[in-house]
Structure 1
Amino acid sequence: MKQSDLQQYIHFHPTRDARKEIEPCLSLLLTELYENKIGSTHICRGLLLRIFRILSTHYDFSLTRERQKNINWTVFEEICSYIQTHYQSVTTHELMERFHFQRDYFNRLIRKKTGMTYSEYLQNIRLEQAKRLLIETELTISEISEQVGYHNKGYFYQLFVNKYNMTPGKYKKRMLEHPCNPMPQHPE
């Protein structure tokens, strides 16, 4: 994250009685650091873990607006990169496990950045990949359908025709005969 001159910070807001729990830990931490006796390092680590637990459970926190934008953009890029790499089989459950966000968060973030839902975004990636495979490989349409993550060939055909106004076979034929002709698309 870019720090430069921007005053970036995380603001922790204590919930009820949080101070009663964190102040003794901070006091003990300062004492251990000051006295620096044998074992202080281990005690300080334990106290820091306890402080982080208190901060994460008994405090609400907020970020500066600029910091939140940067974090959202970074998260969006990481999520999209992961989806583009694993488009054949990626699921929202897999994203939840990997990135530790709720399912709705992915949809909101992708919609905000692309104007598409998660499903539309994934479908777009798969269909673009299918177009590339139709032109660059000798795979059958069934093989391409499977390779891009559609196990139902009929559904793949339906999606392809809805997006590009022609079947995958016609698209391949057209692109091989006239590679410079742009393809008609449905107005979106």
Structure 2
Amino acid sequence: MNTAELDLYLRSYKDYELTYFNVGKPPLLAFRDDKAFIIEDNYEETLRQVHRLSDNLIMRTDQNIACNQHYRFLKVVPHYHSFIEMIYVHSGTCTQTINGETITMNQGDICILDLNVVHDIKVVEENDIIINILMRKAYFDKTMLGRLSGNSLLTNFFIRALYQEKEHHDYIVLQTNNNHKIHTLVTELMCEFFDKQLCSEEAINSYMLLIFTEVLREYEKTQPIQQPNNVTQYNCADILHFIEENYRDVSLVSVAEHFHFHPNYLSKILKKNFGLTFGPLIQEIKLKKASHLLEMQDLPINKIANEVGFSNIYFFYQIFKEKYNLTPSEYRRKFRT
């Protein structure tokens, strides 16, 4: 399947669409007991209920990733699900309500939804091609975020924004309509999914990794930090990159001077955006660098500790075990097993 064939496939009428195209009142698509069913009349009571969309309904047990085109001409009940969902607007627009907030996405935009987030999408018209990419959470955590992180705090920041700080975030919406790479990658992923070829599963995994790489890069751009005098604006990613590149030698004062911040103001930025003050942030970076070396190299543990900036090997062992619940040796054995 090439891109032209994919576009033709997505825009062609599916069987149910031939039935419900251009009807007066759109039918309601609801979910119950791992089944989907359509209600054509008097469905107001059903709309007042929140339905659980089971992954067994749309994903095989051996699948970690599934793609499907959102139903056109149907109204979908408010629902939640036990998998990570990426919504991509291939063409047209998509208006949905997430936790009571109405959001409109345009062609090329992306929304990532955590587990159990209640949302619904308004009736999708003929030229609105909405693609749902579904991922099991274990796969998302290990394969996507695990491989993408590179032991970087920036990815941890992204993870926390998506599904760790429940009082603030359950989803991320990114205006990626100017990112042509994402459009190309999602298109190629769909070609592989809808027309399985030799090694399609490996290709799909690779495309997903590249898609999330671009998503992370776009996410960096959405985190501005502005001076109180409204003169200089920086990105959270800029600060993290600088600290991670120079973590062995920097101090709070030197980082503040580099970004033209007062040290106290920089401390507030770090605490607000990353949940850590400067000292614990540096320690976190050192531990992540150490864990990466344990995974990838056979250096003795005392050399790894020195390499990342710990002069006291006993202190290194102590805080490493506090963070990972394993000694460095146990961590290395478990990772390689």
Maintained 8 Å contact 1:150/1:156? yes
Cα distance between partner residues in 1 of 2:334 and 2:237 = 34
Cα distance between partner residues in 2 of 1:94 and 1:147 = 22
Cα distance between partner residues in 2 of 1:162 and 1:70 = 33
1:155 matched to which residue of 2? 315
1:86 aligns with 2:226: no
> 2:326 is paired with a residue of what secondary structure?
coil
> Which of the two has higher C-alpha Rg?
1
Give unpaired runs (5+ residues) of structure 1: 1-68, 178-188
2:153 matched to which residue of 1? none
Please report how far the alpha carbon of residue 75 of structure 1 lies from its aligned counterpart in structure 2 after TM superposition.
4.4
Which AA in structure 2 matches 1:79? I
Q: Deviation per CA, 1:112-163, whole angstroms, max 9, x where unpaired? A: 1112222222222211111110011111111111111111111111110110
Which AA in structure 1 matches 2:288? E
Using structure 1 for the length normalisation, give the TM-score: 0.53
1:100 matched to which residue of 2? 260
Which AA in structure 2 matches 1:172? R
Maintained 8 Å contact 1:87/1:125? yes
Would the alpha carbon gap of residues 70 and 133 (structure 1) be closer, same or farther in structure 2, given more than 3 Å must change?
Answer: closer
Q: Deviation per CA, 1:15-52, whole angstroms, max 9, x where unpaired? A: xxxxxxxxxxxxxxxxxxxxxxxxxxxxxxxxxxxxxx
Maintained 8 Å contact 2:224/2:236? no
Which AA in structure 1 matches 2:323? K
> 1:74 is paired with a residue of what secondary structure?
strand
Q: Deviation per CA, 1:43-98, whole angstroms, max 9, x where unpaired? A: xxxxxxxxxxxxxxxxxxxxxxxxxx844372432221101111223221321332
Match of 2:301 among 137, 141, 148: 141
Cα distance between partner residues in 1 of 2:224 and 2:266 = 16
Cα distance between partner residues in 2 of 1:151 and 1:75 = 32
Q: Give the alignment of 1:53-68 within 5 angstroms.
A: none
> 2:276 is paired with a residue of what secondary structure?
coil
2:236 matched to which residue of 1? 76
> 2:316 is paired with a residue of what secondary structure?
helix
Q: How many residues align?
A: 109
Cα distance between partner residues in 2 of 1:74 and 1:101 = 10
Match of 2:327 among 167, 170, 176: 167
Cα distance between partner residues in 2 of 1:175 and 1:78 = 31
- Please identify which structure carries the higher helix content: 1
> Percent identity between the aligned chains?
32
2:284 matched to which residue of 1? 124
Q: Which moved more, 1:134-143 or 1:113-122?
A: 113-122
Maintained 8 Å contact 1:89/1:149? no
Cα distance between partner residues in 2 of 1:134 and 1:124 = 15
Using structure 2 for the length normalisation, give the TM-score: 0.30
Cα distance between partner residues in 2 of 1:151 and 1:130 = 13
Give unpaired runs (5+ residues) of structure 2: 1-222, 227-232
Please report how far the alpha carbon of residue 165 of structure 1 lies from its aligned counterpart in structure 2 after TM superposition.
0.9
